[in-house]
Amino acid sequence: LPFGEAIFNDLLYIGNNLVAATNNGIFRSQNDGTDWFDWNDGLSDRIIDLEIHDGYLWAGTQGSGIWKRSLDELGMKPVTGKVYFDENVNAQQDPGEPNLSNVVVQSLSTQGYTNTRPDGTYDLLSNLGQEQIKVHPPKPYWLVAPATQTVTVPSAGIDFAMSLDPAAKDLAVELTNVSVLRPGFVTNYVLNWHNAVPLAATGVTLTLTYPTDLLDLLASVPPPSTQSSGTLSWDLGNVAADAAGNVLLRFKVPVSDSLGTEVCASATISPLPGDLVPFDNTRERCARVVGSFDPNDKQAEPSEVLSLAQLANNEPIIYTIRFQNTGNYPATFVRIADTLQQYFDPASFQFLSASHPCIWNLRGQGEVEFFFNNIELPPVTTDEPGSHGFVKYSVRPRQNLPHGTPLRNTAHIFFDFNAPVITNTTETLAGLVKTTEVPNQRQLLQLAPNPASQLVRVKIGHQSGELILQDATGRVVLRQSVENADTEFSVEGLPQGLYQVVFVGEKGMLYGSLVVQR
C-alpha cells in the first residue's frame, strides 16, 4: 500500500476492484493489488469488516460506527437470481421445491465468485455490459439447467434449476482432533457424519478405529452401539434426507507417548456400495504428539505432497483451521478470513464441518469467510475444553499445474473486534511422486556418493530450479534452491534410510533415490 506497513482486516473483490479494509482506512485496486488508491472520503479509522448489501459497500469501523458507500461510484451493477431444487425436473420451480443455499455461482466474464445465501438467492456485481453466469454443483450427482446464462448488466431473475440423479447415494464422514495431542493431557475429537443427498438412507453404520496404546478413551457422546479394543461402532439405522450429526469423543494421551509420535485414527460410514462419492466415506486423521503449541493453527491434508496420482484423480486438499479463546472473556463472535491461492479452483470449494454453527461466504476470486455468530466461546481460564473450535473445508488445485508447485494457505482469525490472529502457513507440493511411485526409468539424477553419510553431489547440468529431499513417507525434509549449476547438499543429522531426491527445474522434473547410512 502507498503508506507502507498496514494491517489488513478484510479483503473483497467488487467486480474487478479489490477493496482492502486496513488500520488506515479503505483502499482499492484495479490491477490485483499492484497499485492502490485511497477510497476513504474522510474515513481514516481502523476498518474491521466490509460487506456488500443493497447496492452499497458497508464498512464497520473501530470507534466511528458504520459507514456506507454507493457502488455506483465504481460503475458496478448487479446480476441477481436464485438456485432451486427442481425435484420433478420440469425446468420450473413448483410449490414445495426449495431454494438451495451454499451453491457456488461464477461470473465467467470477470472470474468472480459468490455463493447462494441461506434463502438460495445470489448477486454478482459487474461493470461490464454483458455477463456469462455459471453455477457449479457441489457434487457430481447434481445436474444444473441451464449450464450457463449470458445476460445483460444489470439483470434480475437469472435463476438456475438443480436436479438430482435418481440413483444418488452419498454418505460422508469427517474426523477432527479439536485440540492437540500432549502427553498426560486430554484431547477432544469430533466425528461428523452427513447424508449428503435429499434421499433417505437405510442401515447406516459409523465406525471409528484408534490405537489403544497411544490413546485412552474417556468418553463418547453418544455412546457406541458396540465396542471392542480400538474399535467403536454406532448403528445410525435409517437416516433421513440431508440429515447430519456428530459424535464427541474424549481421549487421554498417555504420558508414555513420545514427542513426535504420529497417532492415526480412522472413521468410516457405510453402506459403501453404490455411493457416488466414495472419497469421503472414510477419513483418516493423523496428528503428532507435541509439547508446546499454538492453539490457533491451520493444517493441510495431505500436509507435504499431493502426489501425481492424487493430482490426476483430481483429489482435493482438506484444510482444518483450529482456534481457541486464550483471552479472559467469552468471544461473542469469531470470523475467519481465508484467501485461496491462485493455484486453487474456487469453484471446487466445499464446506465440510465445523465445531459450532457457522455461515460461510465465497467472494471475488477466492476470498472465503467463515462467521460464527453468537458463538459465546468461553475463555481458556474458565472452560478449557469448551474454549476450542474449528472449521474444515476442501478445495482442489487447478489442472495442469507445474510439478512441484507450492500450494500455500494462511488464515486470519478474528475474535470479536480484536486484531487478527494469523495462523501458520501450510505448504503442500503439487505433483511430486511418492517414493513407491517412482519408476526406475525416471531415476535420472546422478547422486554421489550413494549411499551417503555427509555431503551428496548432484549432477543437474545448466538449469535452475529447486532440489527437494523426501523421506520414505513422502515428508519433505530438505529444500534447496539451485542456480544454473550442479550442486551438493548435506544429509548430516538425517536418520538412515531410503530417501527420494526430486529436482524441479526449467526443463521438467528429475528423480533419484538416495540411501543414507550411519
Q: What is the CATH number for 102?
A: 2.60.40.10
Question: How many domains does the chain fold into?
Answer: 5
Decide if 2 is inside a domain: no
Burial class (CB in 10 A: 0-12, 13-18, 19+), 271: middle
DSSP 391-415: EEEEEPBPTTPPTTEEEEE-EEEEE
Decide if 417 is inside a domain: yes
Q: Tell me, yes or no, whether 181 and 224 share the same domain.
A: yes
d(CA 215, CA 338): 32
Decide if 209 is inside a domain: yes
Q: Tell me, yes or no, whether 84 and 207 share the same domain.
A: no
Decide if 349 is inside a domain: yes
Q: Tens of pLDDT along the chain (518 residues)?
A: 555 566 777 777 777 678 888 877 888 887 777 788 887 766 666 787 888 877 788 888 877 788 888 888 878 888 999 999 999 999 999 999 999 999 999 999 888 899 999 999 998 888 888 999 999 999 989 999 999 999 999 999 999 999 988 878 999 999 999 999 999 999 999 999 999 987 889 999 999 999 999 999 999 999 999 999 999 999 999 999 889 999 999 999 999 988 889 999 999 999 988 888 888 999 999 999 988 778 899 999 988 888 877 887 889 999 999 999 999 999 999 999 999 999 999 999 999 999 999 999 998 889 999 999 999 999 999 999 899 999 999 999 998 887 778 899 999 999 998 888 999 999 898 876 554 444 444 447 889 999 999 999 998 877 788 888 888 777 788 888 888 778 899 999 899 888 888 888 766 678 888 899 88
- Residue 113, phi then psi, degrees to nearest 5: -130, 155
Q: Tell me, yes or no, whether 87 and 51 share the same domain.
A: no
Q: Which of 386, 409, 432 is the last residue of a domain?
A: 432
Q: Tell me, yes or no, whether 354 and 398 share the same domain.
A: yes
Residue 63: left (phi > 0), alpha (psi -120 to 50), or beta?
Answer: left
Decide if 396 is inside a domain: yes
Decide if 234 is inside a domain: yes
Q: Which of 58, 74, 90 is the last residue of a domain?
A: 74
Q: Tell me, yes or no, whether 316 and 382 share the same domain.
A: yes
**C-alpha closest to that of 84 among 100, 103, 104, 101:** 100
pLDDT at 43: 65
Q: Tell me, yes or no, whether 362 and 311 share the same domain.
A: yes
Decide if 1 is inside a domain: no
**C-alpha closest to that of 84 among 162, 138, 157:** 162
Verdict on whether the full-model pTM lies above 0.85 = no
pLDDT at 11: 78
CB half-sphere exposure, 83, CA atoms < 13 A: 31
Whether a cis peptide bond, with omega within 30° of 0, leads into 346 is no
Q: Which of 113, 134, 164 is the last residue of a domain?
A: 164
Where in the sequence is the domain holding 98, given as residue range(s)? 77-164
d(CA 169, CA 270): 11
Q: What is the CATH number of the domain that holds 279?
A: 2.60.40.1510
Q: Tell me, yes or no, whether 425 and 364 share the same domain.
A: yes
Q: Tell me, yes or no, whether 302 and 416 share the same domain.
A: yes
Q: Tell me, yes or no, whether 90 and 151 share the same domain.
A: yes
**C-alpha closest to that of 115 among 397, 337, 360:** 360
367-372 and 359-363 as β-strands: parallel, antiparallel, unpaired?
A: antiparallel
* Cβ proximity of 106 and 178 under 8 Å: no
pLDDT at 440: 44
In sequence order, what are the residues at sequence separation of 6 or more whose Cβ sits closer than 8 angstroms to the Cβ of residue 207?
231, 232, 233, 234, 267, 268, 269, 270
* Cβ proximity of 23 and 41 under 8 Å: no
pLDDT at 49: 81
Decide if 107 is inside a domain: yes
pLDDT at 342: 92
pLDDT at 69: 84
In sequence order, what are the residues at sequence separation of 6 or more whose Cβ sits closer than 8 angstroms to the Cβ of residue 298?
319, 320, 321, 322, 409, 410, 411, 423, 424, 425, 426
3-state secondary structure (DSSP) of residue 422: strand
d(CA 482, CA 480): 7
Q: What is the CATH number of the domain that holds 500?
A: 2.60.40.3080
C-alpha to C-alpha distances, 75 to 70, 125, 128, nearest whole angstrom: 10, 9, 9
pLDDT at 438: 47
Q: Tell me, yes or no, whether 379 and 454 share the same domain.
A: no
Q: What is the CATH number of the domain that holds 302?
A: 2.60.40.740
Q: Tell me, yes or no, whether 228 and 287 share the same domain.
A: yes
pLDDT at 374: 94
User: What is the number of other CB atoms lying within 10 angstroms of the CB of residue 383?
Assistant: 13
d(CA 333, CA 48): 13
Q: Tell me, yes or no, whether 191 and 288 share the same domain.
A: yes
d(CA 387, CA 17): 38
**Which three three-digit cell numbers place residue 66?**
458504520
- Helix then strand count (H, E) for the chain reads 1, 43
